[in-house]
Structure 1
Amino acid sequence: MNILFVHPPEGNAFALFKAFDLINDVKIDFLSQEKGKKFSFVDKVKFKIKLPSDLYDYNKLLSSRDLSSIDVLFIVKGVMIYSKTLRKVKHNYPKLKLISFC
């Protein structure tokens, strides 16, 4: 089973990674960005009104990446991932399982 973890650089998905790492026959890949990008005032306002910016380009990375070898897409705190991106991924890869973890 191949799992792709998508998580923000502020968060820590290490405990989840270790839990899946204990399972045999599981290959885990990470899609995360470097720390260092700061939220601007406009980004903070948009986040408060439930319109978050794609600060780390997760939508572009998910749309352009070949996910045909991935079985599970595990998203940790995915408020920056747009629903149209998830619909596109699910449409292009119907056997892919989407899991969102907050």
Structure 2
Amino acid sequence: MRLCLFLLIAGVVDAVMTHLGIVSGFVEEGNPVMQFFIAKSWSYFYLIKIFLPLALLGLFYLRPLKGWIKKLLISTCVLYFSVLVYHMVWIVLYLNTKS
């Protein structure tokens, strides 16, 4: 359950940081699928970033995650944590270029 909540929070934080980075012109979206949705509307981008972890939370309530599925979830959390660290690095770099 905590892993699913982490993914939800990380998804929202990632979406906001990505939005701010793209709008400021400091970064570009690396995922072609997300580039497509951003080009359509930021609303679609946010809906995807929020809906997928919410769907996972719903699945968790229907059937607790065990075995290899839990290992995949843990791997996804580690990967998302790495993405958030990456965001923090470019934010620090961005702030250093502004001063």
Shorter chain as denominator, the TM-score bin is: under 0.3
TM-score by length of 2: 0.24
TM-score by length of 1: 0.24
Q: Which has the larger radius of gyration?
A: 2
More helix by share: 2
More strand by share: 1
